[in-house]
């Protein structure tokens, strides 16, 4: 299944209260907890930071009718604020597709060199 279709399905299930919102999944082998949370206008999936290292934004989904209206930006900035205030997390990484590189650049994320996948990073310790 394509990632966009999968995220659309999860978004619909969460907003219709068919699965928990937020949905948390812990992967013991990697010792990582993934949080998937939705509202009507956006879904975001991210990994909680381990040892205050970084918060990993795994995916961001906005239904087509809500795109280009600022909801993705509001969601990502809300996540960053929450992680800084409640987890003392100061670094964020995001897997990006070509269509989202510009979006993350506007939020001050920088491309990470020598990565197999397109990944961008925002380090608030450096940007202060």
Range of the domain at 102: 3-127
Q: Is the pLDDT of residue 30 over 90?
A: no
Place 107 in a pLDDT band, splitting at 50, 70 and 90: very high
48 to each of 19, 22, 78, 118, how far by Cα in Å?
20, 13, 14, 20
For the segment 23-31, the average pLDDT, to the nearest whole number, is 85
Look at residue 82 in the predicted model and tell me its pLDDT. 93
User: What's the total number of domains in the chain?
Assistant: 1
- Which residues, in sequence order, are CB contacts of 99 under 8 Å at separation 6+? none
Q: Is the pLDDT of residue 66 over 70?
A: yes
Which CATH number covers residue 56?
3.40.630.30
């Amino acid at each position: 299944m394509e990632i966009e279709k999968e995220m659309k399905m999860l978004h619909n299930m969460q907003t219709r209260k068919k699965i928990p919102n937020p949905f948390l999944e812990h992967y013991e082998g990697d010792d990582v907890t993934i949080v998937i949370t939705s509202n009507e206008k956006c879904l975001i999936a991210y990994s909680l930071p381990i040892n205050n290292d970084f918060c990993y934004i795994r995916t961001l989904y906005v239904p087509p009718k809500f795109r280009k209206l600022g909801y993705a930006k509001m969601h990502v900035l809300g996540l960053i604020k929450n992680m800084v205030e409640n987890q003392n997390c100061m670094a964020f990484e995001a897997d990006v597709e070509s269509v989202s590189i510009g979006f993350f650049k506007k939020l001050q994320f920088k491309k990470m060199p020598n990565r197999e996948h397109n990944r961008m990073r925002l380090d608030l310790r450096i940007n202060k």
